[in-house]
Structure 1
Amino acid sequence: MDPLLVRLNLNVSSREEVIEELAALYYEKGIVTNKQKYIAAVNQRESDGTTGIGDGIAIPHGKSSVVSKAAVAVASTANPIDWNALDDKPVKYIFLLAVPEKSDNTHLELLSELAGTLMDDDVREKLKKVTNVLDLEKIFESEVK
């Protein structure tokens, strides 16, 4: 997990603001070459169905030719926001995936592994106690093999 792709306690009030903030990180790091095209890819995926998996977690993702390498950006929000999640509850933890257009199924494997990890009750409880990037890294170092 890249600590430079983590934003904790974001002061945002909408899904669009979270995606904009994390896409800006990708752009700054050269992971996406065109922020608006990447955001359009994420929004297109969101229009196909919610990526809010429940329990305050969303895993939005965008697959686009403007993505130079696969990456995961992580955010927690200062206040829960509406994401039209499967459980109809607001979201506080967002894991935004950037996926190169010409990638194979690697992103599906990453998405599946991440979702599986985040469905673990212990992981979700630890996530609620995260106060810094190191806390977050420890969760995923111990859970993702």
Structure 2
Amino acid sequence: MSSKFCNHFRSPPKIPEVIIPEDLVVNIALSTRHEINRAFANLRQIALGRDIKKFLIVIAGLWLLSILGSCCNFLTLFYIVFVVLHTVPVIYEKYEDQIDTYGEKGWIEVKKQYAVFDAKVLSKVPRGPLKDKKN
């Protein structure tokens, strides 16, 4: 019986050959490069202050991130993000209609508040001409 067992394991295991097509890798690299360039273009627009709405959103996001970061350490923050990313889609699927209704109402209110902020504050900020330098 032991000789049959040994004979069974003497032959090398058959491992299938894995081949990744070149065109797939090239397409992934091209789309990744396109997305990175688009992100850099957005960051440039935000840094130049041309789109004040995006600029304010980035400031608010970084401010919220700093508040969360001061309340807990990185591991706790990572755990919270992990749990939220796994529960929010399930909750959204279950209550999609109600969430969309409240989201639309909230978005209308945000637009109203932004219009007031724009009229009272942003319209009074002096802006000089923006010129791009050609190298």
TM-score between the two structures when normalised by the length of structure 2: 0.27
Q: Choose between structure 1 and 2: higher helix proportion.
A: 2
Larger radius of gyration: 2
Query: Highest relative contact order (Cα 8 Å, sep 6+), 1 or 2?
Result: 1
Q: Choose between structure 1 and 2: higher strand proportion.
A: 1
